[in-house]
Amino acid sequence: LTVLDRLPVQLPQVHSIEADVTDHNALRKAFTGQEAVVHLAAIPNPRTAPADVTFQINVQGTWAVLQAAEDCGVKRVIVASSVAALGLHYNPPGWGPQYLPIDEDHPQSPINPYGESKLAVERMLDWFGAAHGLLLWYGDILAVYAVVGLAWLHFFRERAGATRLRWAVALL
């Protein structure tokens, strides 16, 4: 397991690479020889950073991840999105889904720059996957404390024919 982050990760059996998610060359170096990429690096909510920083990290960072994966022959990528892309998080009271259960066809109406950045990422994933033949999965992660490793690779293998899958994980 290789982890790329701005800060070193010191865990047994983890290869740690210090780099920024927007650094395409560092990502290419890190992705060489990898089977899959799980992209979780992003501004996590609309309160963490100004809108311009949120777009730079979330949108440019995702492009750098996808392009580096494509450059290195990595064909499977998981990307964390947010219900904010649908306009269903950090929203005013009474602003709910148009129908339940929410599916891939639910209207997307983000109400802040963070949600717009996540919607831009989802649109990028759709066209990037189609244009470059990557198998991309993205989804909404709510309060996730994930252990990334063989479970993610199993997820990829089980859904090898899918090219778009909206998923959600909530750990209580």
Question: Which residues are known catalytic residues?
Answer: 114
Closest C-alpha among 35, 3, 33, 32 to residue 19: 3
Determine the 3-state secondary structure of 100 from DSSP.
Answer: coil
Buried-state track 97-120, b at ≥16 Cβ within 10 A, e below 16:
eeeeebeeebebebbbbbbbbbbb
How many Å apart are CA 96 and CA 91, to the nearest integer? Answer: 8
How many Å apart are CA 70 and CA 57, to the nearest integer? Answer: 19
